[in-house]
Amino acid sequence: MSASVVSATGATKRYGEVLGLNGFTAEFGPGITGLVGPNGAGKSTFFRVLAGQLHLDAGTVTVLGRPVSAPVRTNREVGYCPESPTLYEWMSAEEFLRTLLRLDGFDATEARRRCEDALVTVDLLPVKDRRLSGFSRGMRQRVKIAQALAHEPSLLLLDEPLNALDPVSRVRLLDLFAKIAREGRHIILSSHVLYEVERLTDQIVMVSNGRAIAQGDLHQIRDLIDSRPLTVEVTTGAPRDLGRAFAGWDHVTDVSFPAPDKVLAQTRAPDVFYRSLGELARSGAIEVRGVRGLDDNLEAVFRLLAG
Amino acid sequence: MTGQLERLGVIAGLTYRSNFVGGRLWISALFAALPPVLLGAFLAYGVTGSALITDWGAIVITLVLSVQIPLVTLIIGVGLFRNEIEDDTLPYLTLRTIARPSIVIGKYLGGLAAALTFLIPSFVVALGVTVAGADGASFPSGYVTAGLAILLFGTVAYLGVYLLMGLVTRSAFVLGLVYAFLWEFVLQNFPGHLPQVTVYYYLRTLGASLTTAGPVGSYATTVGVAGAVGAPLGVAVVALLIASLVVNSVETAPDRSDS
């Protein structure tokens, strides 16, 4: 087992009466980890804590083995890509990156070299002299990633980097993240676009209401649902008969009819449910046209665990 | 790798340039244009010689000191941190390996340079117009030096105050207007020692300590020249010290909806 890149224990952050983080406890390992949760779950708050921009009210957080209470030291090894799309609009991409690199202590020559490398990585070198005010959302996202990358940190914090991007930009960024990870950097990526996180990594931490509600391998998290109610949508020509049959099964806890040809059943025992439904369909007593497990994707897992 | 001083210079340069874009540029330029335009108008209406020199002094006191410096420094000073906080770009600076007090000092110096870029040419052009219309009449001893000292020390003090306001409150612009035109303007007219709680009082004292002539030199004061120099500088230093403490503990929280 590799050492944690980021470790949080009971991390709590209040904004007045509102809890941004509520005893958040999680371990983030090497490579890419997805921080998944709905808007307002506490993802950005956690990132800002990691980046030394917010102070915890309680609990501890370590980044690369060091407490985040020493942000200037930590910042050398952390690259942070905030969610906000605003940049210094009057600057060019090159000026923006070079300025930030100078603030990290690199001399003019080294700043220029690192700036060019970062722009090449995010594929923005051809437009390096264009004003940022004219950049699209996707280009802005890549500039933000470049500034997070340029000082070659060990850990990248990417806050909703796929938010509001067109599909082509999303694919390009996902490829970029995979490339960065292959170069040996660790990435923590937040998103509520769950299927895209799923495309990038199996390692996830799920957050809701400021708490980590599940973490680990996505498949392990999916296993958690085996012992919990699962919702299955069945398409049939005889919804009343099928509903009556479901009502007679002990493991079915709820039956509803969302459409004239559909029945929703919630079961505590998915394996038994599918076996029984198969037998019912094979017997020819009730026509079954289709079966769909509504919870059989990451979004449903999240909804289930967030309960 | 470069030191904190060089990084401070980068912040100052970044801040200086940021003041020459958008609406702030045009508003500051408008205020900068007022004194030369007004003196040009006087000249056009036939005011010349020593009368024009006296009018130049009156403009230094009633327009430059009371309106131009407070407003130009308000526009620039309030925006030094407030714009970054509201645009959520401040983390790009606070994430870097630059000490946070250096960000305060760098921003202040960049803002000071920007303010003086508007104010000094305005002063020089207004002076040029006056010299052109003076018809050989000479300026009283210390008259120009006093005007320039008021300009420099006023900019130093007011900019520090407005930087601090922009850092600590969202309503900094309104608060700054209240400070400039209620606190500074109203209190200076009160009897007794009350005017001494205004920066204006010390700037007028500074002017009066450098010349006794005209509107610039005529001011009843009980403070010596050391106090006149020390008070505006002290205001700026205290404002920057408080701002450094605030920035050291400032949190750049995400929008609540994104948290």
Quickly tell me which residue has 């958040």 as its tokens. Answer: A24
Q: Is B93 on the interface with A (CB under 8 A)?
A: yes
B99 contacts in chain A (CB < 8 Å): 72
**Domain termination site, one of A217, A244, A279:** A217
Asked if the model's pLDDT at residue A2 lies above 70, the reply is no
Q: pLDDT tens across A95-140, in order? A: 999 999 999 889 999 999 999 999 998 889 999 999 999 999 889 9
The structure tokens listed for A260 are 């004239």
Which pLDDT score, from 0 to 100, does residue A1 have?
A: 44
What is the chain A residue with the closest CA to B8? A103
Query: What is the percent of chain A where pLDDT is above 70?
Result: 90
Contacts with B, A 95-134, CB within 8 Å? 99-100, 102-107
- CB-based contact A231:A266 (threshold 8 Å): yes
State the smallest CA–CA distance between residue B130 and chain A in angstroms: 37
CA atoms of B43 and B37, how far apart (whole Å): 10
B18 contacts in chain A (CB < 8 Å): 88, 90
Residue A159 domain boundaries: 6-217
Q: Nearest by CB to A83, from B97, B251, B254: name it.
A: B254
- CB-based contact B14:A99 (threshold 8 Å): yes
Which pLDDT score, from 0 to 100, does residue B250 have?
A: 79
The structure tokens listed for A223 are 């296993």
Q: Using the beta-carbon criterion (under 8 Å), do B95 and A80 form an inter-chain contact?
A: yes
Asked whether residue A114 is assigned to any structural domain, the reply reads yes
Which pLDDT score, from 0 to 100, does residue B120 have?
A: 96
Which pLDDT score, from 0 to 100, does residue B259 have?
A: 47
The overall average pLDDT reported for chain A is 86
State the smallest CA–CA distance between residue A254 and chain B in angstroms: 34
Question: pLDDT band at residue A167, thresholds of 50, 70 and 90?
Answer: confident
CA atoms of B119 and A276, how far apart (whole Å): 85
A200 and A275 in a single domain? The answer is: no
Q: Using the beta-carbon criterion (under 8 Å), do A44 and B6 form an inter-chain contact?
A: no
Residue type for position B70: P
Asked whether residue A222 is assigned to any structural domain, the reply reads no
Look at residues B69, B115, B101, B116 and name the one whose alpha carbon lies nearest to residue B167.
B101
- The sheet with strand A18-28 has its strands ordered as A18-28, A6-15, A58-63, A66-67
Q: Using the beta-carbon criterion (under 8 Å), do B91 and A80 form an inter-chain contact?
A: yes
Output the CA torsion A226→A229→A231→A234 (10° steps): 80
Per-residue DSSP letters for A178-240?
HHHHHTT-EEEEEES-HHHHHHH-SEEEEEETTEEEEEEEHHHHHHHGGGS-EEEEEEES-HH
User: What is the 8-class DSSP label of residue A51?
Assistant: T
State the smallest CA–CA distance between residue B256 and chain A in angstroms: 7
What is the chain A residue with the closest CA to B251? A54
Asked if the model's pLDDT at residue A300 lies above 70, the reply is no
A212 and A238 in a single domain? The answer is: no
Asked whether residue A261 is assigned to any structural domain, the reply reads yes
CA atoms of B145 and B141, how far apart (whole Å): 9
Of A74-88, A145-159, A245-259, where does mean pLDDT reach its minimum? Answer: A74-88
A162 and A240 in a single domain? The answer is: no
A88 contacts in chain B (CB < 8 Å): 14, 18, 89, 92
Which pLDDT score, from 0 to 100, does residue B258 have?
A: 46
Element (H, E) at B133: helix B100-133
What is the chain A residue with the closest CA to B22? A90
Q: What is the CATH number of the domain that holds A280?
A: 3.30.70.920
Asked whether residue A81 is assigned to any structural domain, the reply reads yes
A133 and A203 in a single domain? The answer is: yes
Question: Stretch A230-240: mean pLDDT, rounded?
Answer: 88
Q: pLDDT tens across A14-64, in order? A: 988 888 999 999 999 999 999 988 888 899 999 999 988 888 999 999 998
Q: Using the beta-carbon criterion (under 8 Å), do B254 and A76 form an inter-chain contact?
A: no
**Domain termination site, one of A198, A217, A236:** A217
B91 contacts in chain A (CB < 8 Å): 48, 51, 53, 80, 82
CA atoms of A161 and A93, how far apart (whole Å): 18
Asked whether residue A32 is assigned to any structural domain, the reply reads yes
Compute how many other C-beta atoms are within 10 angstroms of the C-beta atom of residue B202: 26
- The sheet with strand A252-259 has its strands ordered as A252-259, A262-267, A230-236, A288-293
CA atoms of B259 and A209, how far apart (whole Å): 10
Q: pLDDT tens across A155-164, in order? A: 999 998 887 6
Asked if the model's pLDDT at residue A166 lies above 90, the reply is no
Which pLDDT score, from 0 to 100, does residue A222 have?
A: 66
Q: Is A209 on the interface with B (CB under 8 A)?
A: no
User: What is the 8-class DSSP label of residue A12?
Assistant: E
pTM of the shown model:
0.82
Sheet strands (E) in chain A: 6-15, 18-28, 32-36, 58-63, 66-67, 78-81, 155-158, 186-191, 203-208, 211-217, 230-236, 252-259, 262-267, 288-293
A145 contacts in chain B (CB < 8 Å): none
Q: Using the beta-carbon criterion (under 8 Å), do B254 and A45 form an inter-chain contact?
A: yes
A252 and A147 in a single domain? The answer is: no
Asked whether residue A299 is assigned to any structural domain, the reply reads yes
Q: Is B94 on the interface with A (CB under 8 A)?
A: yes
- Which of A103, A147, A156 has the highest number of chain B CBs within 10 A, making it the mutation to test binding with B? A103
Q: pLDDT tens across B205-230, in order? A: 999 999 888 888 888 888 888 999 99
CA distances from A282 to A20, A242, A262, A276, A278 (A): 52, 14, 19, 10, 6
Distance of CA B87 to the CA centre of its chain: 24
Asked whether residue A1 is assigned to any structural domain, the reply reads no
Q: Using the beta-carbon criterion (under 8 Å), do B93 and A15 form an inter-chain contact?
A: no
A78 contacts in chain B (CB < 8 Å): 95
Angle at A281 between CA A276 and CA A287, to 5 degrees: 135
Half-sphere exposure of A83 (CA within 13 A, CB side): 25
Asked if the model's pLDDT at residue A71 lies above 90, the reply is no
What is the chain B residue with the closest CA to A74? B97
Q: Is B44 on the interface with A (CB under 8 A)?
A: no
Which pLDDT score, from 0 to 100, does residue A285 have?
A: 85
A56 and A135 in a single domain? The answer is: yes
Q: What is the pLDDT along chain B (259 residues), one digit of tens a residue?
A: 568 889 999 999 999 999 998 778 888 889 999 999 999 999 999 888 889 999 999 998 889 999 999 999 999 999 999 999 988 899 899 888 888 899 999 999 999 999 999 999 999 999 999 999 888 888 888 889 999 999 999 999 999 999 999 999 999 999 999 999 889 888 888 888 888 999 999 999 999 999 888 888 888 888 888 999 999 999 999 999 999 999 988 777 665 444 4
Give burial (CB, 10 Å; 0-12/13-18/19+) of B72: buried
- CB-based contact A35:A184 (threshold 8 Å): no
A139 and A187 in a single domain? The answer is: yes
Q: Nearest by CB to B96, from A15, A45, A75: name it.
A: A75
Which pLDDT score, from 0 to 100, does residue A34 have?
A: 93
Q: pLDDT tens across B113-148, in order? A: 999 999 999 999 999 999 998 888 888 888 899 999
Which pLDDT score, from 0 to 100, does residue A214 have?
A: 85
- CB-based contact A187:A156 (threshold 8 Å): yes
A259 and A127 in a single domain? The answer is: no
Beta bridge partners of A190: A35
Q: Using the beta-carbon criterion (under 8 Å), do B2 and A72 form an inter-chain contact?
A: no
CA atoms of A172 and A34, how far apart (whole Å): 18
Most confident of A180-194, A289-303, B238-252: B238-252
Task: Give the total residue count for chain A.
Answer: 307
Structural domain count, chain A: 2
A116 and A32 in a single domain? The answer is: yes
A15 and A129 in a single domain? The answer is: yes
The structure tokens listed for B123 are 């002063």
Q: Using the beta-carbon criterion (under 8 Å), do B2 and A87 form an inter-chain contact?
A: no
A104 contacts in chain B (CB < 8 Å): 96-98
Burial A273-288 (b: 16+ CB within 10 A, else e): beebbeebbeeeebeb
B246 contacts in chain A (CB < 8 Å): none
A171 and A252 in a single domain? The answer is: no
What is the chain A residue with the closest CA to B4? A105
Asked whether residue A223 is assigned to any structural domain, the reply reads no
A66 and A16 in a single domain? The answer is: yes
CA atoms of B22 and B32, how far apart (whole Å): 16
Distance of CA B132 to the CA centre of its chain: 27
